[in-house]
Amino acid sequence: MMPLLDIAIIALVASLIGLSKGGMGAVLVVLATPLLSQAMPVTDAISLTLPLLLIADAFALWMYRKTWDMYYIRLMLPAAVIGVIIGTALLASLPDLALRRILGIFTLAFVIYKVWIENRLGAAYAPKPWHGVLAGGASGLASALANNGAPPFTAYMLLQNLTPTAFVGTTTLFFAIVNALKLPGLIVASLFKFENLVSAWWAVPIIPIGVWTGRWIVTRIDKRAFERFILATLVVASLFLLLTAPPSR
């Protein structure tokens, strides 16, 4: 029988994934693999996280259908695909400590820009296409290496003038595609273990509940309050990336 602590951790991760996909910030997914690694080997944690994400993606895509902005998908996805390919090729051997630090600095810099320069000093952000390409590539690479693709994507999207629903819809479609692209690489690298998902089947019903709850909150939250929440989660994610070391594989 699975230990009670392991059951609690898996249930918590399923809830976080559901809430994240429901719109409460994709950076919540950053916590999934580290939490699961407390209950199982890191490779097993990676193996279990991805199918849970794919299940959540299916519910979220239906819930946020036709709300995404295809401009940002077309802008960011090609670079993300390249990032996923490179990240998958390096997954088995590359230490990701340096990547975590770079992502942490990158994310924190966007938060500082948004809060201080744009809001305090009145500077207007001038979007450039290469900004989106860079964020897409960084998200694909980090997602393939450590399920940490949310911070650069979220930081970039937060600088765009989108409603909360369009923000979440675009995030949902982008990461649904990225996660689907990661699965073949994990299978080839022998990191995907179907038996891990079978052993945690009982946690799957938690995911749609979390997705629905996240959606319920997003459709009722003020845009400024939503932005503050995302900024707060970005700060937490950046500090997590800057101050913690990745679990050994």
Boundaries of every domain in the chain: 4-243
* pLDDT digit string, tens, across residues 96-109: 577 667 667 766 77
Cα→Cα distances 144→21, 64, 69, Å: 18, 24, 23
pTM score: 0.76
CA atoms within a 13 Å half-sphere pointing along the CA-CB vector of 248: 0
- Amino acid 223 reads K
pLDDT band of residue 249 (cuts 50, 70, 90) is: very low
| 65: three-class secondary structure by DSSP | coil
So what's the pLDDT on residue 119?
62
So what's the pLDDT on residue 71?
95
| In the predicted structure, residue 160 carries a pLDDT above the cut 80 | yes
* pLDDT digit string, tens, across residues 122-149: 556 677 889 999 999 999 988 887 677 7
| In the predicted structure, residue 166 carries a pLDDT above the cut 80 | yes
The larger pLDDT score, comparing residue 141 to residue 77, is at 77
- Gap between the Cα atoms of 39 and 122, Å rounded: 47
**Of 168-172, 176-180, 224-228, 245-249, which range is least confident?**
245-249
For 75-93, letters b (16+ CB in 10 Å) and e give bbbebbbebbebbbeebee
| In the predicted structure, residue 173 carries a pLDDT above the cut 90 | yes
So what's the pLDDT on residue 233?
73
| In the predicted structure, residue 157 carries a pLDDT above the cut 80 | yes
| 247: three-class secondary structure by DSSP | coil
